[in-house]
Structure 1
Amino acid sequence: MASVSESDDLFDCILMADDRFHVEGYREGYEEGTREGLLEGRNHGMVHGARLSAELSFYHGFAVTWKYLLQTNVDAKSKKRLKAVESLIGLISKFPFEDSQYENLQEDTERVRAKFRQVCSLLNVTADFRDYVSGSATMSF
């Protein structure tokens, strides 16, 4: 009787090998996909985070420079411009740079961009961030 159960186990092992290998392959593939996905997501986040940080840093430097230039003027137009520039600085200073899970990232980024466009309109300067970045790439010292 012992030989009959061993042969049954042998046939079960052979017949179930396909299912077993399928389950093992799925598990290994899932684990590998999870690892690769996390790595790819981290890299994607770093690249886009760096771009957003560079953009917001540019806006901040732009606003601080214009604030300095507008502070000496006392006419009504300059006061309106200065108020818009200070509002842009305020939006950027409230931006949560440390929070990687920030839920309103896109909305707040669009608010900053819209305020930047408004300030540029008031100052009569180009409002495209890419123009400034590409223009500085051709400079040499």
Structure 2
Amino acid sequence: MAGGSGQEDMFDSIFMSAERFRGEGYREGFERGTNRGLQDGRRHGASHGAKLSTEISFYYGFGTTWKCLLQHKTDLKSRKRLKAVESLLGLIQSSPHDDPYSEKLREDMEKLRAKFRQVCSMLNVPTDFKDYIKTSEGTSF
């Protein structure tokens, strides 16, 4: 019996070590996966944030430029255009684009894009902001 007991202890030891290694492997894999997921998430967030920032910055520069061009004109059509441009600038200033956790960010971006299309229509200019950011080689950044 003493020999059988030693054999059982040996099998228990082998079984327990396999369980321990499986547990350690799982924990190590989970930790690596979590770290990789966080890195990928940060990279995706930074990329998406940069695209939104570029888009908002363009709208702001577009609006500011048109405001400068229209502000000294007195005809009714120019006044209406200026009001629409000022409304675009107001949307940019009031939106929480500097808060990535804002619940309203997506909704505000849709409103901003719609206002931009409206202003472009009033000004008779293309509505795709990517048309404005082409380099001389024909590629966009």
**Same fold by TM-score, threshold 0.5 exceeded?**
yes
Match for residue 95 of structure 1?
Answer: 95
Higher mean alpha-carbon deviation, 87-96 vs 99-108, is at 99-108
Match for residue 75 of structure 1?
Answer: 75
Q: Residues of 1 paired with 2:107 and 2:15: CA distance?
A: 57
Q: Residues of 2 paired with 1:54 and 1:38: CA distance?
A: 24
Q: Residues of 1 paired with 2:3 and 2:102: CA distance?
A: 65
Q: Quick one: percent identity of the two aligned structures?
A: 58
Q: Residues of 1 paired with 2:9 and 2:98: CA distance?
A: 59
Q: Secondary structure at the match of 1:130?
A: helix
Q: Residues of 1 paired with 2:65 and 2:24: CA distance?
A: 61
2:29 is equivalent to residue 23 of structure 1? no
Is the 8 Å Cα contact of residues 81 and 123 (structure 2) preserved in structure 1?
yes
Partner letter of residue 109 of structure 2? T
Q: Residues of 2 paired with 1:95 and 1:5: CA distance?
A: 74
Unaligned runs of 5+ in 1: none
Map 1:101-112 → 2, pairs under 5 A: 101-112=101-112
Q: Residues of 2 paired with 1:15 and 1:29: CA distance?
A: 21
- TM-score, normalising length from structure 2? 0.87
Task: Report Cα offsets for 1:62-97 as digits up to 9, x if no partner.
Answer: 001111111111121111111110010001011223
Q: Residues of 1 paired with 2:99 and 2:54: CA distance?
A: 17
Match for residue 119 of structure 2?
Answer: 119
- TM-score, normalising length from structure 1? 0.87
Q: Residues of 2 paired with 1:133 and 1:59: CA distance?
A: 12
2:40 is equivalent to residue 40 of structure 1? yes
Higher mean alpha-carbon deviation, 115-124 vs 19-28, is at 19-28
Total equivalences in the alignment: 137
Match for residue 138 of structure 1?
Answer: 136
Q: Residues of 2 paired with 1:63 and 1:11: CA distance?
A: 77
Q: Indicate the RMSD between aligned Cα atoms, in angstroms.
A: 2.0
Unaligned runs of 5+ in 2: none
Q: Residues of 2 paired with 1:66 and 1:4: CA distance?
A: 92
